[in-house]
Chains A and B, each alone.
Chain A
Amino acid sequence: MDRQVLAGRYRRNFSTLSAQDQERLFFCRISLVGLGGLGGPLLEMLARMGFGRKGCGWIRVADGDMFEASNLNRQLFCLESNLGLPKTQEAVKRIQAVNSEVNLQVHKNFLQPEELPAFIHGADIVLDALGDLPTKLALRRAAAQAGLPVITAAIGGWVGFISTLLASDRGDTLLRIMDTGVDGAELRLGVLAPTAWFVAALQCRETVALACGKRPLFHGRMHIVDLTDATWEKVLLEEEEACAHQPAVNA
Chain B
Amino acid sequence: MILEVKCYATLVKYQPEQKDLLLGPQPTLRDLIGFLGIPEAELKLRFVNGVHVGLDHELHEGDRVGLFPAVGGG
Contact = CB atoms under 8 A, between A and B. Distances in A.
A78 interface: no
A178 B57 contact: no
Interface string B50-73: 111111110000000010111111
Contacts of A228: 12
A16 B33 CA distance: 45
A185 B74 contact: no
B52 A185 contact: no
A43 to B, nearest CB: 12
Contacts of A238: 52
A235 B42 contact: no
A235 B73 contact: no
Tell which of B47, B53, B55, B71 has the most Cβ of chain A within 10 Å. B71
A26 to B, nearest CB: 27
Interface of A: 34, 36-39, 129-133, 136, 153-157, 159-161, 173, 177-178, 180, 182-191, 196, 222, 224, 226, 228, 231, 233-240, 243-244, 246, 248-251
Given A36-B74, A156-B10, A243-B54, 9 more contacts: A154-B73, A180-B70, A182-B70, A196-B74, A233-B50, A236-B50, A236-B51, A236-B52, A250-B54
B44 A180 contact: yes
Nearest to B66: A233
A237 B66 CA distance: 13
22 contacts: A38-B74, A131-B73, A133-B72, A155-B73, A156-B71, A177-B44, A177-B45, A180-B41, A180-B44, A182-B41, A185-B9, A185-B73, A187-B73, A190-B73, A222-B45, A233-B47, A233-B50, A239-B51, A240-B53, A240-B54, A246-B54, A249-B56
A222 to B, nearest CB: 7
Interface residues of B, number: 26
B38 to A, nearest CB: 13
A118 B72 CA distance: 24
B45 to A, nearest CB: 5
A159 B52 contact: no
A239 B52 contact: yes
Contacts of B56: 248-251
Contacts of B35: none
